[in-house]
């Protein structure tokens, strides 16, 4: 195995990751706030600029292509204006899209209205996809997963991963590395994955609070065994991250940054982990690199990505 610090562009360029999950469109409306409405005690925002970005699973896939690897995105969207806008934005990134369309579904949109440099309100548009379109997504997955080196499930709890348990078992049977960014309290649906990557709040929601590191170690390993996972990666913001696996624990400290904006950092961490795993690297080798990527991205404002050069330049 090539030492991780000298992983070449060519090795990463061959790595293929299939991202499956809930994609969404992030909309930002920026405006001037000069007065209070005469109708109600709320600010009037005169919108001067709008911006649209790909979010959730689409942002995870975008992080993979920014690193120089190949990413396909399997997701379910509506047959609406937002879905076509999302598809157009995804197409520009180099991600290969596999969009299942459900005419009864509202494509998930998060609309943020921003005035005077602060978010005034966020409006969410969403509902749950129908079972027929999810069944066709499973059929597409069956064909696609064999053409990729790693499969990454990006769960945002929007209903697009109703059949995740079956998809994990298919990918694992085909010898693929399976990574899951989890959501909610039911981790039984992630059984048999290679690795799950909860943050502190998410893990606490499932195993309860821990009194100290020894208590955390016991609870984390118990969960790993119960779910038959190769590993559990706990992301801990300014405390770095800890990998729990059959060998024990691997603690990686956070990289100190002047700016500490964690927006989208979880997406960057799991995307980097998946890209490295897709090159054949072990999780223990990949975790310090994913931690470094997370450290770079929290040093940028807003949802950001990391390039190959940024990640490997100093090493």
Length of the chain: 315
CA angle 309, 244, 68 (to 5 degrees): 20
Residue bearing tokens 């070449």:
8
Beta strand extents in the chain (DSSP E only): 16-21, 23-36, 43-56, 70-77, 96-101, 109-115, 118-125, 150-154, 177-181, 195-196, 231-235, 241-245, 248-252
CA dihedral in degrees (239, 241, 244, 247; nearest 10)? -100
List the catalytic residue out of 80, 102, 267, 309.
267
Q: Is the separation of the CB atoms in 83 and 100 below 8 Å?
A: no
124 is catalytic: no
First-to-last alpha carbon distance for the chain, in angstroms, is 17
Q: How far apart are CA 273 and CA 254, in angstroms?
A: 16
Q: Which residues are catalytic?
A: 267
């Amino acid at each position: 195995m090539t030492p991780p610090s000298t992983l070449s562009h060519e090795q990463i360029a061959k790595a293929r990751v299939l991202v499956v999950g809930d994609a969404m469109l992030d909309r930002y409306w920026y405006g001037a706030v000069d007065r209070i409405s005469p109708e109600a005690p709320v600010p009037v925002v005169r919108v001067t600029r709008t911006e649209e970005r790909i979010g959730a699973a689409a942002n995870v896939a975008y992080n993979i292509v920014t690193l120089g690897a190949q990413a396909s995105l399997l997701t379910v969207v509506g047959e609406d204006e937002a879905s076509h806008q999302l598809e157009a934005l995804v197409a520009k990134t180099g991600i290969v899209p596999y969009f299942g369309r459900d005419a009864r579904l509202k494509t998930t949109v998060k609309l943020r209205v921003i005035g005077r440099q602060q978010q005034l309100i966020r409006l969410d548009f969403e509902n749950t996809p129908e079972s027929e379109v999810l069944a066709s997504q499973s059929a597409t997955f069956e064909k696609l997963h064999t053409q990729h080196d790693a499969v990454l499930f990006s769960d945002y709890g929007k209903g697009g991963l109703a059949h995740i348990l079956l998809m994990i078992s298919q990918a694992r049977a085909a010898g693929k590395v399976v990574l899951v960014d989890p959501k909610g309290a039911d981790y039984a649906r992630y059984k048999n994955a290679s690795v799950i990557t909860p943050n502190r709040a998410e893990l606490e929601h499932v195993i309860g609070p821990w009194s100290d590191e020894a208590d955390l170690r016991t609870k984390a390993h118990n969960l790993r065994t119960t779910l038959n996972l190769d590993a559990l990666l706990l992301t801990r913001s300014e405390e770095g991250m800890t990998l729990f696996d059959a060998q024990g624990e691997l603690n990686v400290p956070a990289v100190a940054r002047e700016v500490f904006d964690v927006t989208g950092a979880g997406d960057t961490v799991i995307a980097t982990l998946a890209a490295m795993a897709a090159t054949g690297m072990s999780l223990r080798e990949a975790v310090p690199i994913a931690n470094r990527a997370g450290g770079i991205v929290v040093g940028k404002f807003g949802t950001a990505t990391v390039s190959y050069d940024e990640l490997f330049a100093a090493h």
